[in-house]
Amino acid sequence: MPSLNKVFLIGNLTKEPELRYIPSGAAVANLRIACSRKYKATDGTMKEDTLFTNVTVWGKMAEACNENLGKGSPIFVEGRLQSRTYETTDGQKRYVTDVVAERVQFLAPKKKTSGGSEEAIPDEASENQAAASAGDDDKPPF
């Protein structure tokens, strides 16, 4: 029977993207996003949970994320889960699950502030503009 590994997330960046290049020259960006949900607890009070997720973005899409996103930027991520293990300096084994992005859509443009820094602002950016700036040309045409 076939299986499916697909993730859809909408959230805000908790910090600036971290762009680096691996020895082959490929770009990779690490993003950290916060996704919140509100719900009513059994006692009737409203509660909010926030999930913090690491997202890895590759290629031109990684470079576009680095250029166009900043702390607080709202984004939509479509991707897959990937687990990995590593050993700490004191010998303990750690397990981590991240999202590997297949598509990133910018939900608001980055705007210059009066101080020269940039911040994400809410805007009615069209889906086509956001998808195009996210580097959809990395995908094969099939």
pLDDT averaged per 10 residues in sequence order, the chain, 142 residues: 96 97 97 96 95 97 96 97 95 96 90 52 40 43 34
Q: To 10 degrees, the CA torsion angle through 129, 135, 137, 140?
A: -120
Could you please state the CATH topology (level 3) that the domain comprising 7-39+46-138 is classified under: OB fold (Dihydrolipoamide Acetyltransferase, E2P) (2.40.50)
Q: What is the pTM of this model?
A: 0.73
* Number of neighbouring beta carbons within 10 Å of residue 11: 22
Residue 126: what pLDDT? 37
Cβ contact 70:118 at 8 Å: yes
Residue 109: what pLDDT? 74
Cβ contact 95:85 at 8 Å: yes
Type of residue found at 76: F
Residue 118: what pLDDT? 55
For 11, 12, 23, 30, 38, the CA distances from 50, given in Å and listed in that order, are 10, 11, 35, 19, 9
